[in-house]
């Protein structure tokens, strides 16, 4: 599955959510999470993110490894998001 990592924190540009064919994205207070059970690895969201926050789980930088478990845990506890909204960061 693809994973949302640290650059999303405090940004939430939400350009990613509208291209996902599987409605994988879930919204936390400070960042988004991808549901690994729904993600089909299509990669459509990756080029949409202006801050390059989305990685394939096997390619995620070492310092952000914990985001794999965080996406799995938090996507189960947060609401789906399928519409673009105003980002936190300008
Ligand atoms: Fe959705 Fe595809 Fe991104 Fe997975 S890789 S979150 S299916 S857009
Ligand atoms: Fe976050 Fe990038 Fe999507 S900042 S909300 S992963 S477009």
Indicate which residue's Cα is closest to atom 8 of ligand 1.
Answer: 20
Q: How many domains does the chain have?
A: 1
Nearest bound ligand to the CA of residue 15: 2
Mutation pick for ligand 1 pocket among 36, 45, 82 (CB with most ligand atoms within 8 Å): 45
What pLDDT is attached to residue 47? 98
In-domain check, residue 90: no
The Cα 19–Cα 30 span in angstroms is 20
Q: Which two tokens stand for residue 66?
A: 């914990």
71 inside domain: yes
* Domain boundaries, position 68: 2-75
User: Is the residue at 89 inside a domain?
Assistant: no
Specify the residue for token string 């693809």. Answer: 2
Torsion, Cα 42 70 68 14, to 10 degrees, reads 30
In percent, how much of the chain has pLDDT > 90?
A: 98
CATH of residue 11: 3.30.70.20
Q: What are phi and psi of 2, to 5 degrees?
A: -90, 155
Q: How far apart are CA 70 and CA 65, in angstroms?
A: 9
Q: How does pLDDT run across 4-24, given as a tens digit for each residue? A: 999 999 999 999 999 999 999
Choose the residue to mutate in 4, 60, 85 for probing ligand 2, maximizing ligand atoms within 8 Å of C-beta: 4
pTM of the model: 0.96
**Residue at 83 is within a domain:** no
Q: Provide the ipTM.
A: 0.95
* Residue 87 within any structural domain of the chain: no
């Amino acid at each position: 599955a693809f994973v949302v990592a640290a650059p999303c924190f405090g940004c939430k540009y939400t350009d990613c959510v509208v291209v996902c064919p599987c409605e994988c994205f879930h919204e936390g207070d400070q960042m988004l999470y991808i549901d690994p059970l729904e993600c089909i690895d299509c990669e459509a969201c990756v080029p949409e993110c202006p801050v390059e926050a989305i990685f394939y789980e096997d390619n995620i930088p070492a310092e952000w490894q914990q985001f794999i478990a965080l996406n799995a845990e938090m996507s189960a506890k947060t609401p789906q998001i399928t519409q673009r909204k105003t980002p936190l960061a300008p």
